Amino acid sequence: MKHYWPILAGVDVLTALFLAVRTIAFGLHEENPEERHFFEREHKNRDRYGDTEKRHEWQMVFQEEPETNCDIPVSGNPEVKIRNEECNTVMLTEQEQPANTRCFRSLEPGVPDIIISYVPFLIGKQEGLADYVLSRDTVSRLHAKIDREGEEYRITDLNSTNGTMVGGRLLETNETAPLLPGEEVYIANVGFIFT
C-alpha cells in the first residue's frame, strides 16, 4: 500500500490544479459580457438543435439566429436554413465604378485597363513606388502622374525616357496636359484611351 501513496498524491494534486483552473476560467467567463453572450447563445442552440456535437464546427462558431423567411437548408443539418438571397454571389466585374473613378482602357492585347480611383496616381514599372505597375522595358520607373484639378483630370510626364503622348502630342519633360474623355494616351509605346 505504501508504494501507491505517491500515485494517489499526484492524482490529488492534478485534481486540485484542474479545479483551480476551472474556477479561474469560470470567473473570467463571468467578467466578460461578450463571452457570456456567446455561451448563452450556445446554450439556446443546444436546446434548439439538440446535441451540439452533431453540428459542424463552423456552424457553432458562425451560427447566427435563424430567420423566419428561409429557403435553403444547410447540408448536414436540415433545421438550419439560410435565405436564398444570401446565397447569391455578386460578380465584381459587373459592379459599377464610382462616379469619380476614371480609367485608361488598354489598346494593347494582354495589358489590363488602369483604374484610376484616387489622385495623385503614379504609373511606372517600379513596384512599391508606382500605383500601377506597367512592366515594360520602355516604361520608366516613375513614368507619369495622373492628378485632378476640380473636375479636370491631368497627366504629367515625370521625366520619362520614352515620353508620354496625349492626343497625338508628345509631352515635354515634366509637362502637364489635360485629359479629355476618349483621348488616346501613350505611356512610352503602350496605348490607352482615357474614359
What pLDDT score was predicted for residue 99? 60
What pLDDT score was predicted for residue 159? 95
- As a whole number, mean pLDDT of residues 144-153 equals 94
* pLDDT tens digit sequence for 24-53: 766 655 555 555 665 566 556 555 555 545
Q: How confident is the model at residue 67 (pLDDT cuts 50, 70, 90)?
A: very low
CB 141 within 8 A of CB 135: no
Is the pLDDT confidence value at 145 over 90?
yes
Least confident of 70-74, 88-92, 183-187: 70-74
Please choose, from the candidates 177, 149, 151, 148, the residue with its C-alpha nearest in 3D space to the C-alpha of residue 163: 177
* pLDDT tens digit sequence for 73-101: 555 555 555 555 555 666 665 445 556 68
Q: How confident is the model at residue 167 (pLDDT cuts 50, 70, 90)?
A: very high
Is the pLDDT confidence value at 102 over 90?
yes
Rounded Cα distance, 64 and 8, in Å: 46
CB 177 within 8 A of CB 166: yes
